[in-house]
Amino acid sequence: MTTHILIIGLGLIGGSLAKALQRNGDVHVAGYDADPLTARKAFKMGIIHSSPPSLEQAASEANVIVFATPVGATIKLMEQSKYWSLKDDVILTDTGSTKIQIMEKSKNLNYLFIGGHPMAGSHKSGVEAAKEVLFENAFYILTPGDNTDEERLQFLKDLLSVTKAKIEVLHAEEHDHMTAIVSHFPHLIAASLVHQLDQEEKFPFARQLAAGGFRDTTRIASANPEMWRDITTQNNAMIVQQLSNWMEQMDQLKDMLMKNDPEPIQQFFSHAKTVRDELPIAGHGAMFSVFDLYIDIPDVPGSISELTGYLAEEQISIVNLRILETREDVFGILVISFQTAEDRARAQKCIAARTVYDSYIS
């Protein structure tokens, strides 16, 4: 029996999910987008099997409907779905990065809704960037309602298993609390650090010094402002709580620094180093991340082309490449970013076998 899947919203996430779900043996993946050109493009690229002209018609034929749209748009579509003629056993789900509002809204629906959040991303956006491997080794969180039966939850988990994501089940409150800690709040901190740099007028050369570690630390501040406006307003209470915790800790840190006792200051940094070093390296976390490989190379002509040539021979794809300009030692550091941890590991092995350059993971 063919499982009919409708994906609404054919951006990076929706398009990648559509491609990955086609790995299932007997499925038909229909796609709908508010922009008809995007839907036609997705069909021509083979990302979806069909592009129905009517959302209501496509919804009526679906066994599973995925709202791959921003949370605000998803809530509006959930309201509209009350007027669609859907199959009795249809499963509705979404891909939004906050879950409490979504799950509250789902209580007013007459059909089963299971919240979802695939924690994957890319430096590119749009349907053109869709790739079926996007979710591999990433966490894919499901947030079922209180009355969700295990059999239908398992059906959705089995359907999504072909994405090769690590599927976990959480309560919406757990999801939003944890993502506030490790994703949403850090974006605020990164943005605030950039604002602090921008306000530095006495020493304008500071912007040049920011080309190294500061730029890496604040990379996430370059994320889509509209998306993060929505995330911040939707998960407001959780983020405000984290901000309160942060400010309390900063007060303690300020007091420590004013006393200027070296021992507790060292302990502060030592504890942070220990916890950070114990964090898992493999796989994706709550924030989109590329996988960086740091390579000590001499500042001589041909070094970079030599390295990238070796990677090209091994057909290892590079996401980004940059040189850290702010250095405190003799060698320059080349930073090469990869899409997956596996690509990074292959690159490190390739470079170790062919050169004398040291490479390491930070």
| Extended beta strands in the chain, E state | 3-8, 27-32, 64-67, 91-94, 112-118, 139-144, 166-169, 291-297, 320-324, 332-338, 359-360
Same domain, 39 and 122: yes
Same domain, 340 and 199: no
Both tokens assigned to 184: 């949403």
Last residue of one domain, picked from the residues 170, 188, 209 = 170
Last residue of one domain, picked from the residues 242, 277, 312 = 277
Provide block-wise average pLDDT over 10 residues at a time, the chain (362 residues).
96 95 94 94 95 92 96 94 94 96 95 94 78 87 93 97 94 96 92 92 85 77 85 94 96 96 95 87 58 77 85 87 56 75 88 80 68
Same domain, 114 and 190: no
The span from the CA of 194 to the CA of 182, in Å, is: 19
pLDDT in tens, 281-296: 655 555 556 678 888 7
Q: Tell me, what CATH number does 236's domain have?
A: 1.10.3660.10
**How much is the pLDDT for 224?**
81
Given the DSSP bridges, would you call strands 3-8 and 27-32 parallel, antiparallel or unpaired? parallel
Closest among 270, 250, 16 to 126, alpha carbons compared: 16
The reply to whether 251 falls in a domain is yes
pLDDT in tens, 220-270: 888 888 888 989 999 999 999 999 999 999 999 999 999 999 999 999 999
- The set of residues, in sequence order, having a beta carbon less than 8 Å from that of 227 and lying 6+ positions away, is 70
**How much is the pLDDT for 141?**
96
The span from the CA of 229 to the CA of 311, in Å, is: 38
* Model confidence, pTM: 0.78
Number of domains in the chain: 3
How many Cα neighbours within 13 Å face the side chain of 243?
A: 14
Domain range for residue 29?
3-170
